[in-house]
């Protein structure tokens, strides 16, 4: 089951193209407000899952803290830029404008 990881992947897959969200927002949505680290860990373990757009998940400041875990260190930035986002110094410009919050967009999470 590994519920939590799968739930994380399910949410990440719903992030629209060109939008991004944060680890903490996902953790909060799933009812684990203090388990943001686990969301990041789930991403680390999502390499063998092809349909999980891990590049659309950044930390709450819009910084690409996980870029080193991609195949190339530029890959994450390139993927985001190809979706229309602008980046500077590993940080998303106008992060708040592109932020996609599952807590306000998706229906309340239910077990």
Partner DNA sequence: ATCTTGACCTAAT
Partner DNA sequence: CATTAGGCCAAGA
Distance of CA 79 to the CA centre of its chain: 13
106: DSSP letter: S
H/E run at residue 22: strand 21-22
Nearest-approach distance from CB 97 to DNA, in angstroms: 17
Instruction: Using the minimum distance from each CB to DNA, give the nearer residue, 37 or 86.
Output: 37
Nearest-approach distance from CB 111 to DNA, in angstroms: 15
Nearest-approach distance from CB 79 to DNA, in angstroms: 10
Cα–Cα–Cα angle for 49, 75, 3, rounded to 5 degrees: 25
Instruction: Using the minimum distance from each CB to DNA, give the nearer residue, 6 or 94.
Output: 6
Instruction: Using the minimum distance from each CB to DNA, give the nearer residue, 61 or 106.
Output: 61
Q: For residues 55 and 70, is the Cβ–Cβ distance under 8 A?
A: yes
Nearest-approach distance from CB 88 to DNA, in angstroms: 18
Instruction: Using the minimum distance from each CB to DNA, give the nearer residue, 34 or 89.
Output: 34
Residues that bind DNA (CB under 7 A): 4, 22-24, 27, 32-47, 54-55, 59-61, 65-70, 76
The candidate with the shortest Cα–Cα distance to 97, out of 89, 85, 80, is 85
Q: Distance between terminal CA atoms of the chain? A: 13
């Amino acid at each position: 089951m590994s519920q939590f990881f799968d739930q994380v992947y399910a949410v990440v897959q719903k992030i629209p193209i060109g939008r991004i969200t944060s680890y903490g927002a996902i953790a909060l949505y799933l009812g684990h407000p203090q388990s943001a680290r686990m969301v990041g860990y789930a991403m680390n373990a999502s390499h063998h899952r092809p349909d999980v757009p891990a590049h659309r998940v950044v930390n709450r400041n819009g910084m690409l803290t996980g870029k080193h875990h991609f195949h190339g260190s530029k890959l994450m930035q390139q993927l985001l830029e190809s979706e229309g986002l602008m980046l500077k110094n590993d940080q998303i410009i106008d992060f708040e404008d592109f932020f996609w919050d599952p807590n306000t967009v998706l229906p309340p999470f239910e077990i």
